[in-house]
Structure 1
Amino acid sequence: MLTENLVNKLLVKNFLTLIFACFLFLFLNGQNVNISEGNVFDGEPYIAVNPQNSKHILVAWMGWVPYNYIAIKTRVSFDGGQTWSNTAFIPHENSADQSADPSMDFDTDGNVFLAYIDYSKVLDTGFVYVRKSVDGGLSWGAPVKVIDASSDGEHRPIDRPWMSIDRSGGIYDGAIYIT
């Protein structure tokens, strides 16, 4: 017959084995993945998940590009983050500009919209642009200038243009709002 002391030792051993197995499972199945792969600077990331398909994930961030400038970079996953596309670089409208502060949203048709700032290094001009992707974020259309910071000298520089798209089904469905 088992003594009470031996039973307690077996319970503790089984409990610790269970805790170790849970930790091992989480460690092997819940790893973070460095999708930016940056060597110098990657910052201010933004993530968007398609409301019609939660396995469709898009990430945008400010990333260092050789020759001393920062650009917007994006990557997309269609399998819940198991695999990622190659990094897409969003080109500047003026090659001497910097980019910052991406934000994204999906419309009801599954198109992705990306808002970001392009500005001069001396912060005397800046614009908020929006680009559209019809292939889920693999490529981006031409930029549309939606805010010109140089037209309002008291509010320079622009910072973090947040974007949201109306998916209510109402009369403003599809409207893009940028603050």
Structure 2
Amino acid sequence: MRLMDPVVPQDRSTDSCAVLTDQSIRDEFREHGLRCTVQREAIYRELINAHTHPTADELFTLVKERVSGVSLATVYNTLEALSGCGLAERLPPATPSGPCRYDADRHPHSHVTLPDGRVCDVPPDLDEQLHRGLSADAICQIEERLGVKVAHVRLSLVCQGEKACAADRSDSGSD
């Protein structure tokens, strides 16, 4: 038995998120029932452009340089609104006392959590290998035993070591 297609991550190499216009952001907000403000647009744009799965504090640092009058509370409230309507995902903290991180990439994909709490995306080709290697029989048994329907599988790999994510290295040369 083959895994269901929604389980296999889609190719994210042509993701349109990085080229969203102001109007397309406004349209997405409207489609998801969100009120659009300058602050929300700026926060969402920074989240889309961040490949580091930032915390609310990290986003606040980025946004306050570009938009005057934005507060940390606005960032938290916006992230909750974005997560609540499906435009972003709130990632659980790496440690019990750590901060949540956020991801605007809505394609199914897996994450690697580093010892310092940073989160990186698994490269798409390796992510596909991971998902294809999952046992469809095990998924069927989970559905049967728990009485649920698995919509998609989300993997999160927790790693040891101090090596930096490739996303961190690629972001350092941007802007």
Higher relative contact order, structure no. (Cα contacts within 8 Å, ≥ 6 residues apart)? 2
- Note whether the superposition's TM-score is higher than 0.5: no
> TM-score with structure 1 length normalisation?
0.26
Q: Normalized against structure 2, the TM-score is what?
A: 0.27
> Looking at CA atoms only, which structure, 1 or 2, has the larger radius of gyration?
1
- The answer to which structure has the higher strand fraction is 1
- Greater share of helix residues, 1 or 2? 2
